[in-house]
A and B are shown apart, each in its own frame.
Chain A
Amino acid sequence: MHNQDQALIFEISKPGRVGYSLPEMDVPTVELEQLLPEGYIREEAPELPEVFELDIMRHYTALSNRNHGIDSGFYPLGSCTMKYNPKINENVARFAGFAHIHPLQDESSVQGALELMYDLQEHLIEITGMDQVTLQSAAGAHGEWTGLMMIRAYHEANGDTNRTKVIVPDSAHGTNPASATVAGFETITVKSNEHGLVDLEDLRRVVGEDTAALMLTNPNTLGLFEENILEMAEIVHSAGGKLYYDGANLNAVLSKARPGDMGFDVVHLNLHKTFTGPHGGGGPGSGPVGVKADLIPFLPKPLVTKRGEEFVLDYDRPQSIGRVKPYYGNFGINVRAYTYIRSMGPDGLKAVTEYAVLNANYMMRRLAPHFDLPFDRHCKHEFVLSGRRQKKLGVRTLDIAKRLLDFGYHPPTIYFPLNVEECIMIEPTETESKETLDGFIDKMIQIAREAEENPEIVQEAPHSTVVGRLDETLAARKPVLRYQKQ
């Protein structure tokens, strides 16, 4: 990364330059005034840049050099499963027969695409232990909302209209309560106990006739397996509620425990995490939703099914919650996830989880002497540390994160989950070597030492990035959300 102000594309624009090559205008043309009503022909041209191809390429190359991806270096961002994004996935997703097909073509002309979707559904059914899967949801949060809408429809179909509450643990991801709101529910929070697990007493207290569902991730966002899961399922089910599984953490339990076998009724997966859909700088994702048999009638439509040897889109689903997205989901991400699953096979997926968990425990044990470890037990694919000890020295978790930037690392997730003070959440994933883990651990230990001996160097970090810490208060107080020509 180099230290210079990067021009905006608008600032290098020059009238007279073009960056495009449009097809020939080979039909006779007519004055636009004859084709469009008065007042509907654009008078002021939009201020898009005028640049030529090399400048465009250099601009974006310069921007890419100011960006850190998994291919740039270690990315232990907890809860995000930043594992290697295999290159074969990118090639397959770009095959013309996948990338350049129209969603509304006749079904007979997209049998290959439907076959892939069908087979992916079948694989995800086996992996989750559910009875059916839809691929329509675009991301995790979208899947949560889809699942909750199905749960609502299920209760309503049973005449059970007073189930207005969704319970989430205090360690839950923000999308859980937000999705509950969008699905028309009220959120109730259940406390975690001193072991970082859902407090069963508190759960019993909040569960009742108004419970629509309990949303959980297992392992939870602290990276700990909810050992009492069957008891929790029993508490919720006997009160008539449903159990929802946020599959963001599935990387921890592939071939070890399936949501369906743990008593979950609905599960969404983040294919852009466990199944290597690249995160794209913030998206796209894909959030398939799996359900148990009693919820199948409520799945969004259409559903990809098989009739004889033919793959079809089934719209005849009278109890469906309807469409949650135009067309059939983020197909391109589903192609990548399918390619990944087929590259790994059953033994590969098992090894994925084993190494993900091995790596996390190894890092946790090596870092434990240097930071506070709030929950001292085997973790699953990720673990949390607390920066309490460093905070007393005047070094906050944010400072530790910024100092890691100086060493070329993407920092862990910080200040999440909310129930751990000065939280540092580390998820190494299985695709990192021991050398990489050791390199990161050494720098974390160095930072812990710096916090004691030379706190300024941490407090003032980063020292080597293209910009220093940015004024976020200014950004929010006087929002500048677009470029304006001077």
Chain B
Amino acid sequence: MKHRYLPMTEEDKKVMLETIGVNSVEELFSDIPESVRFQGEYNIKAAKPETALMKELMQMSEKNADLKKYTNFLGAGVYDHYQPIIVDHVISRSEFYTAYTPYQPEISQGELQAIFEFQTMICELTGMDVANASMYDGGTAIAEAAMLSAGHTRRKKVLVSSALHPETKEVVKTYAKGQYIEVIEVPHQNGVTDVEALKELMTDEIAAVIVQYPNFFGRIEPLKELEPIIHEKNALFVVSSNPLSLGALTPPGKFGADIVAGDAQPFGIPAGFGGPHCGYFTVTNKLLRKVPGRLIGQTVDEQGRRGFVLTLQAREQHIRRDKATSNICSNQALLALAAAVAMTALGKKGVNEMAVANIQKANYAKNLFKENGFTVAFDGASFNEFIVQLNKPIKQINQDLLKKGIIGGYDLGRDFPELENHMLIAVTELRTKKEIDTLVKELGDYHA
């Protein structure tokens, strides 16, 4: 068997078998009982040479309508943003992408420092004390927040805003089942968490209240009003947040959030059919030792030189096993690196400029819809998404739009029966005035 990934020659093999003291490679498998031995070869597709495989897979990829060719107005948790070109150059350096977890700090200072910088930038954006080295994604990060809260408060009920991302909500429910936690939804009122309903539901049994900021409908949640209601019952205040929006919005840390988590996908990470993205997880100092996953800390070597290490590992599965704060081991380090590069490129000024551009362009689009007689549902302060009511099933409209080179917005009827024929439209800084004007025109026939 000759293959470009397999270096052993027949001569090598002969010498090695002699050293081992066996006559054939087969002998090395003699401990596998005959009864469970697999005979022959897998019934799978034959190997393809490099060029032919590239061609086949390129053709497969071209069956998809990609955001580079199509004009995209779909968001709902995954956004089409400016991705500084250097991001891919950095994460393509194989010293980064072919490394394992930095267990040996002396030869992993690059990775460790980059993630230490990531943690710093995430803290700055969220206004929180501590950020970890990443989670799988925003959805599981919020599920971990729910579990942390239940463990910390020793309570078994969690309130989630109905304006939380529906898929995040589902993931929270799956994890909650494992932990015997009850998940109760707080209704929304005109697209934001209903403050009066929250007051009613708030008891001494609630471990945490989870809201999203900006929420799934694009609206700005009234964090300031929610905080005292939650803390009065000594529950934890958990905010799921799009970190890009925090370039322009007051960060949840300022409103007294205990945990802020979410996905850093808006920072340099391609939509990628939903993953890999980059969950982030932040807490206040008082919850430091409850944090799931890896933390990078600064220290010194024997000569007093600054260096970085994985720290507070006594929380983690490889030390604490069944008592660990979480089962997470591999995280999304390479995407945390990507997000760090994007945040670095944007910097202090750029992150604000980009966040504000989202607000402005989305506002322009929303007003244009209104001027053209469309009904905007849950109208109010928002970030880069808003809802337009149309007269036909959104699925059908989106199929029509695809023919015109447009990827339309999210079909809210999928998760909210009362919002049938309602489209959640995302307008990021990438959309031009012309593209927005075209969308409004193309939807002209679908006026509600």
Residue A178 at the B interface, CB < 8 A?
Answer: yes
Q: Tell me if B47 and A85 are in contact (CB < 8 A).
A: no
With A96-B61, A256-B38 in contact, do A48 and B364 touch (Cβ < 8 Å)?
Answer: no
Nearest-CB distance from B22 to chain A (Å)? 8
Q: Tell me if A284 and B332 are in contact (CB < 8 A).
A: yes
With A281-B334, A358-B13, A480-B297 in contact, do A20 and B84 touch (Cβ < 8 Å)?
Answer: yes
Residue B41 at the A interface, CB < 8 A?
Answer: yes
**Who on chain A is nearest to B43 by CB?**
A126
CA distance A348 to B46 in the complex (A): 9
Interface residues in A23-63 (C-beta closer than 8 Å to B): 23-30, 32, 35-37, 39-43, 45-51, 53, 56-57, 59-63
Query: A64: which of B93, B165, B251, B297 is its contact (CB, 8 Å)?
Result: B93
Query: B97: which of A102, A280, A476 is its contact (CB, 8 Å)?
Result: A280
Q: Mark A76-98, 1 if CB is under 8 A from B, else 0.
A: 01001011111010111011111
Q: Tell me if A100 and B67 are in contact (CB < 8 A).
A: yes
Stretch in A1-9, A200-208, A236-244 touching the partner: A1-9
CA distance A461 to B350 in the complex (A): 44
Residue A419 at the B interface, CB < 8 A?
Answer: no
CA distance A56 to B6 in the complex (A): 37
Q: Tell me if A77 and B100 are in contact (CB < 8 A).
A: yes
Q: Tell me if A470 and B327 are in contact (CB < 8 A).
A: no
Q: Tell me if A476 and B276 are in contact (CB < 8 A).
A: no
CA distance A342 to B175 in the complex (A): 35
Residue B102 at the A interface, CB < 8 A?
Answer: yes
Nearest-CB distance from B366 to chain A (Å)? 10
Residue A19 at the B interface, CB < 8 A?
Answer: yes
Interface of A is mostly: loop
**A327: B residues at CB distance < 8 A:** 78, 167, 273-275
With A431-B7, A467-B305 in contact, do A95 and B57 touch (Cβ < 8 Å)?
Answer: yes
Interface residues in A354-370 (C-beta closer than 8 Å to B): 354-355, 357-359, 361-362, 365-366
Interface residues in B106-156 (C-beta closer than 8 Å to A): 106-111, 113-117, 119-121, 123-125, 130-131, 133-134, 136-140, 147
> How many B residues are at the interface, by size bracket?
35 or more
Q: Select the residue from B27, B35, B104, B436 with max chain A CB neighbours within 10 A.
A: B104
**What is the interface size of chain A, counting residues whose CB is below 8 A from a CB of the partner?**
202
Stretch in A66-74, A288-296, A384-392, A444-452 touching the partner: A66-74
**Who on chain A is nearest to B356 by CB?**
A32
**A35: B residues at CB distance < 8 A:** 359, 363, 381
**B250: A residues at CB distance < 8 A:** 39-43
With A64-B95, A92-B54, A347-B41 in contact, do A86 and B333 touch (Cβ < 8 Å)?
Answer: no
Residue B33 at the A interface, CB < 8 A?
Answer: yes
**B443: A residues at CB distance < 8 A:** none
Residue A373 at the B interface, CB < 8 A?
Answer: no
Q: Tell me if A358 and B349 are in contact (CB < 8 A).
A: no
Q: Tell me if A88 and B324 are in contact (CB < 8 A).
A: no
With A103-B274, A112-B60, A327-B167 in contact, do A140 and B329 touch (Cβ < 8 Å)?
Answer: yes
CA distance A149 to B180 in the complex (A): 12
Residue B63 at the A interface, CB < 8 A?
Answer: yes
Residue B159 at the A interface, CB < 8 A?
Answer: no
Residue B417 at the A interface, CB < 8 A?
Answer: no
Q: Tell me if B321 and A187 are in contact (CB < 8 A).
A: yes
**A159: B residues at CB distance < 8 A:** none
CA distance A481 to B112 in the complex (A): 11
Residue A469 at the B interface, CB < 8 A?
Answer: yes
**A263: B residues at CB distance < 8 A:** 36
Interface residues in A270-287 (C-beta closer than 8 Å to B): 272, 278-285
Q: Tell me if A281 and B100 are in contact (CB < 8 A).
A: yes
Residue B422 at the A interface, CB < 8 A?
Answer: no
Residue B445 at the A interface, CB < 8 A?
Answer: no
Q: Tell me if A64 and B104 are in contact (CB < 8 A).
A: no
Q: Tell me if A483 and B120 are in contact (CB < 8 A).
A: yes
Q: Tell me if A103 and B271 are in contact (CB < 8 A).
A: yes
**Who on chain B is nearest to A270 by CB?**
B330
**Who on chain B is nearest to A301 by CB?**
B170
Nearest-CB distance from B441 to chain A (Å)? 15
The 3 closest A-B pairs by CB, nearest first: A327-B274, A345-B47, A97-B61
Mind listing 6 A-B residue pairs with CB under 8 Å?
Answer: A1-B107, A139-B330, A255-B41, A278-B94, A347-B41, A351-B3
Instruction: Known A-B contacts: A64-B90, A347-B47. Give 13 more (CB < 8 A).
Output: A1-B107, A19-B345, A23-B429, A62-B110, A113-B64, A129-B38, A139-B331, A174-B316, A282-B111, A346-B43, A410-B107, A479-B295, A481-B131
